[in-house]
Amino acid sequence: MATASLEGFATGYVEPDYPSAARGIPVLNSFYFRFDQPDTDHHLQHIMLLPGGFSADLTPAVDLEPSTIPAGRAELVFQDDDPDDDDDEYFYRAAHAMLDGRARRFQFRDFDRGSVRRPLPPGILRPADSVTGGILALAGFKMQFTGNREDHIEQISVMLEDDGTYTIALKGPDNITYSYLIDVVRISGQGRTIVPGEASGSARGGDRINLPTPSGTDFVLRGFHFRYRDGDHHLREIGVMRQNGRMEVFFGDEDGNDPFDWRVRWAHIGGTPVIAPVARP
């Protein structure tokens, strides 16, 4: 398996070329967003990371546009309600593991408010997955407060759970309604070894754990949860990065000094048996 990646600086919505992610089915490996001006007051209005390529639409009746990004492109946004302001430039980084045709890709979308847990739409999970050890992982995500509104942030979550549900949250003090689109990949366990993992913790600004990569495997994200422990904040950076035998998480406000709780779910995907990684409790 190969890994595709992209990074850059942007203001507002961007659609960069992502040709290395057009050679298979992209599964999210890492993501990171950061407003470039550390002393600027940033609320959040819209966050999006979606790779191009076909993704079967499971919620066609929902009054939101599906993702129809062509293969070889990506769409990204990290902005408040004024994307044309020079102070709103942000840095982005993303990486995807590229899987073969034994994986299938789906998308679903809706509106919600606060932090909720919902059942996955019919058509994603199969009875055979429980036999072969197949799992779901993220390809990308999009969350946006409705009405071009912005808010401080208390919690952001996109989490695929093991009980056929998902957790979604874009929560601030005003409890504004938000729209979301989750792009997922069903990964068959047939002919593969899949070793799931999960870690959580508390930190200020960011945190890291040792997470060695088993030989011959790729790391894919199954979900992330971030929540400030002392109320809502301006949001400067957010991300889950996998590199150099460790995983790093970021959820910093303008001074990077406020405590937050985090939880990340992942899997190592390989074609031969591997040893389960050991993560810090």
Q: Give which of 167, 156, 149, 146 is closest to 253, Cα–Cα.
A: 156
pLDDT of residue 131: 66
Q: How confident is the model at residue 85 (pLDDT cuts 50, 70, 90)?
A: low
Q: Is residue 277 a contact partner of residue 214, using CB atoms and an 8 Å limit? A: yes
pLDDT band, very low/low/confident/very high, at 231 (cuts 50, 70, 90)? low
Handedness of CA 58, 139, 76, 90 (dihedral sign): positive
- State pTM to two decimals: 0.91
- Distance, CA of 187 to CA of 30 (rounded, Å): 18
Mean of the pLDDT values across residues 166-174?
A: 92
CB 97 within 8 Å of CB 26: yes
> Given a cut of 60, is residue 208 above it in pLDDT?
yes
**Cα dihedral sign, 238-167-16-266:** positive
Q: What is the pLDDT of residue 274?
A: 36
Is residue 51 over pLDDT 90? Answer: yes
Name which of 138-147, 165-174, 247-256, 262-271 the model is least confident about.
Answer: 247-256
251: closest CA among 138, 144, 156?
156
Confidence of residue 115 (pLDDT cuts 50, 70, 90): very high
CA–CA distance, 5 with 196 (Å, rounded to integer): 22
